[in-house]
Amino acid sequence: MHKVGFFRSIQLKFIIIFILLLLVAIQVIGSYFARELEKELVKNFEESIESTVDILQVNMEQAFSKERPEDGDGPTLKQEVQDVVRVNDTDNIINIQVVNMQSRIIAASNSSSSGNIGKKTTSDFIKNTLRFGVADSDKVYNTERNLIYRRVVPITDDEETQVGALYIESSISSVYNQMEDINNIFLRGSVLAITVSAFLGILVARTITKPIMEMRRQTQTMAREDFSQKVNVYGSDEIGQLAESFNDLNAKLKHSRASTEEERRKLSSVLSNMSDGVIATDKSGAVTLMNDAAARLIGRSPEEAHGSFLLDVLELDEKTVDITDLPDSGSMIIDFSDQDNFFLIRANFSTISDDEADITGFITVISDVTEQEKVEQERREFVSNVSHELRTPLTTMRSYIEALTEGAWEDKEIAPKFLSVTQNETERMIRMVNDLLQLSRMDDKDYSLQKEKTEFITFFHHVIDRFDMNVSDNITLQRELPNGQFYVWMDKDKMTQVLDNIISNAIKYSPEGGTIRFNVVKQKNQMLASIEDQGMGIAYEKLNKIFERFYRADKARTRKFGGTGLGLAIAKEMVEAHHGKIWAKSKEGKGTTILFTLPLMNKKRRGK
């Protein structure tokens, strides 16, 4: 997590804002104070000069209006005027001049102007007053670049007749020097105030930013999915209310995350334990989620399939199926078969939509339907085979019955033959129906085995003896049975039916002069029985199919002997019910051997 530096923190921003506001306030106050103070000082200075001018003006009027003796006793006008100027010369006034109507300077205060007494003034400022009798004042810089204030007023006698002009110069620089001193004091005070304010600003900013920084740290902690901590509440103001709201948000997020995590675990557990595969994609069709069941079905790991296109994962041709058409297709069967294995899966598609009904992704549920399809195919084949097997005898019976109905029953030679064929076909259908009922009960587990302890070699001899009495002389039954005792736990009736079916098939397919061999050997905890004929044999690719229902290696020969095609299927079911196995070995033209195993009884059980 990125850490915010002090120079980028909100605390510094608070301090800067606080100082800027203080500077603006000081600037406004200082500007207003300096301007008003300057006005007041200048005003006071001008009033002071004006008071001096008024005094001088009165004294000058008295001096110009005073009558003097003709004999010349007493001071002259120049002397009196000079005395008045000398008496009123102060530190604030740097120059006083008295000018008569002829523009001649008759008195002056400073030494530099004393040399000009008796000379005409060259100042237009004074001449304008002599000319027009109007007082005037202004501020100018002298040769030393000092700002001076000058004032000129007319001088009148008792008869209000202008007799001259009074000119005064005073340095106003002291006023501005005083203003500068005051500004310096104000500046030092401002710096001190800013320093104190900055310190106070830091304290205030820390007070404001501390809970915010705590909330920031708590946010970083929450980003790491840790909701155990809370923010301290320092007051009931807006920040305190914000902290309380933040703690409420933390509690709700904690509860929400716990609920979400629980739902996620449930969903993960459901997906992991589903027998069906689940594949989730985004709206473009890229795989985002796949459970283990789906990985096993399609043969790709979830990590390998992540990000792959859904149609590529399901091995669908993009030209045949478009990703946008998948939801409309509902479901489809996808063939994953190869040269060695037959494998089909069913894929069901659905969409994920947001609140605005826009598609945001796809969910695909896949399942293995290989066995279902096999069962469905076998069911169709079974129905077809049953229909075919029943149609043949029924057609034959109908033909013979129609012939008998049309008058053949009166023929004493033909009628018995027709009735015999009809009776044989009826018995054949009865056998077929009985076999079907027996297979149905076995499929539904609606049968029970009456097992008992049986010595198999003796039992096998009895079954062979029954066939040996009825077999043709052209077929030899060769017994290669051992003399030992082979005790098995079995149902004699069911096992008799198994041997009957196998031996009957061997006799049917054996050629004239053929030999059928019977053999039994011991293999660990089981016995292996085999029945070998010298018939026409079975092709290798058809060998595993002879135990299927209604399958015939030679249909013409089987129908000739009235077979139903269910004998070996029943034998397989019976042997497996006894926890044994049955299979066949054969080569075309060299006969077929049917082999089956049965578990032997152990000595402890045999002794009971």
Residues 424-469: tens digit of each pLDDT = 778 777 767 776 776 666 666 656 778 899 999 999 999 998 888 7
Whole-model pTM: value is 0.41
| Per-residue pLDDT, 481 | 92
Residue 403 lies in a domain: yes
Residue-level pLDDT at 325: 62
3-state helix, strand, coil in the chain (%, to 5): 55, 20, 25
On whether both 65 and 167 belong to a single domain, the answer is yes
Angle at 478 between CA 474 and CA 481, to 5 degrees: 165
Domain of 435 in residue numbering reads as: 374-443
> Within this chain, do residues 540 and 561 fall inside the same structural domain, yes or no?
yes
Task: Summarize the confidence of residues 67-75 as an average pLDDT.
Answer: 63
Beta strands at 476-480 and 515-523: parallel, antiparallel or unpaired: parallel
Same domain (yes/no): 469, 321: no
Is the domain of 281 the same as that of 326? Answer: yes
Does residue 183 register a pLDDT over 90? no
Residues 149-177 have pLDDT tens digits of 888 989 888 778 888 888 888 888 878 88
Q: What is the pLDDT of residue 194?
A: 82
**Predicted confidence (pLDDT) at residue 595 exceeds the cutoff of 70:** yes
Best-predicted range by mean pLDDT (305-319, 463-477, 519-533): 519-533
Q: Supply the CATH number for residue 407's domain.
A: 1.10.287.130
- Asked whether residue 30 falls in the same domain as residue 111, the answer is yes
| Claim to verify: residue 66 and residue 163 sit in the same structural domain | yes
Mean per-residue pLDDT of the chain: 79
Q: How confident is the model at residue 493 (pLDDT cuts 50, 70, 90)?
A: confident
Q: Please give the share of the chain, as a percent, with pLDDT higher than 70.
A: 85
Whether 71 maps to a domain, the answer reads: yes
3-class DSSP state of 548? coil
Mean pLDDT of the 370-385 span:
72
Long-range contact pairs involving 65-68 (C-beta distance under 8 Å, separation at least 24): 65/157, 65/158
At 21-61, the pLDDT tens digits run 888 888 888 888 888 888 888 888 888 888 888 888 888 88
| Domain co-membership, 350 together with 432 | no
Is the pLDDT at 319 greater than 60? The verdict is no
pLDDT band with cut points at 50, 70 and 90 for residue 544: confident
**What's the CATH number where 474 sits?**
3.30.565.10
Whether residue 317 is contained in a domain is answered as yes
| 419 vs 598, residue with greater confidence | 598
What is the rounded CA–CA span in Å between residue 480 and residue 490? 22
Determine which of 82-86, 238-242, 551-555 has the lowest per-residue pLDDT on average: 551-555
Flag whether pLDDT at 607 surpasses 50: no
Which of 8-12, 140-144, 289-293, 372-376 is the least confident region?
Answer: 8-12
The reply to whether 458 and 429 lie within a common domain is no
**Mean pLDDT confidence for 534-539:** 85
Do 175 and 146 meet the contact criterion of CB atoms below 8 Å apart?
A: no
With left for phi above 0 and alpha for psi between -120 and 50, is residue 307 left, alpha or beta?
left
**pLDDT value of residue 559:** 46
- Note the maximum CA span of the chain: 215
Choosing from 368, 384, 411, the residue where a domain stops is 368
User: Is 260 within the bounds of a domain?
Assistant: no
Segment (H or E) for 437: helix 414-443
Q: What is the mean pLDDT of residues 64-92?
A: 71
Q: Which of 150, 178, 206 is the last residue of a domain?
A: 178
- What pLDDT was estimated at residue 328? 56
In a domain, 491, yes or no: yes
pLDDT of residue 537 exceeding 50, the answer is yes
> Residue 429's pLDDT is what?
75
Phi and psi torsions of 128, nearest 5°: -60, -40
In a domain, 234, yes or no: no
Q: Which of 110, 143, 178 is at the close of a domain?
A: 178
Mind listing the pLDDT tens digit for each residue in 101-131?
888 888 887 655 666 788 888 888 888 888 8
CATH of the domain at 57: 3.30.450.20
Q: What is the mean pLDDT of residues 252-275?
A: 81
First to last CA, the chain: 80
Exposure string (b/e) for 224-255, b if CB count within 10 Å is 16 or more? Answer: eeebeeebebeeeeebeeebeebbeebeeeee
Unique residue bearing structure tokens 């904690």: 254
Among 323-332, 494-503, 544-553, 574-583, which stretch is predicted with the lowest mean pLDDT? 323-332
Residues 361 and 398 in one domain: no
Binned at pLDDT 50, 70 and 90, residue 528 comes out as very high
Residue 86 lies in a domain: yes
- The answer, yes or no, to whether residue 241 has pLDDT greater than 50, is yes
185 lies in some domain:
no
How many domains is the chain built from? 4
For 563, counting Cβ atoms within 10 Å of its Cβ (0-12 exposed, 13-18 middle, 19+ buried), the class is buried
Q: Could you give the CA distance from residue 66 to residue 471 in angstroms, rounded to a whole number?
A: 192
Residue 558: pLDDT band (50, 70, 90) is very low
CA distance 322 to 340: 30
Enumerate residues 6+ apart whose C-beta is below 8 A from 476: 514, 515, 516
DSSP code string of 20-73: HHHHHHHHHHHHHHHHHHHHHHHHHHHHHHHHHHHHHHHHHHHHHH----TT--
Q: Has residue 557 got a pLDDT over 70?
A: no
Give the pLDDT confidence score for residue 521 in this predicted structure.
93
Residue 556 has pLDDT above 50, yes or no: no
Mark whether 300 and 169 lie in a shared domain: no
Q: Are residues 439 and 478 both part of a single domain?
A: no
Q: Is the pLDDT of residue 3 over 50?
A: no
140 plus 289 within the same structural domain = no
CB 521 within 8 A of CB 527: yes
* pLDDT at residue 561 in the model: 47
In the three-class reduction of DSSP (H, G, I as helix; E, B as strand; rest coil), residue 278 is classed as strand
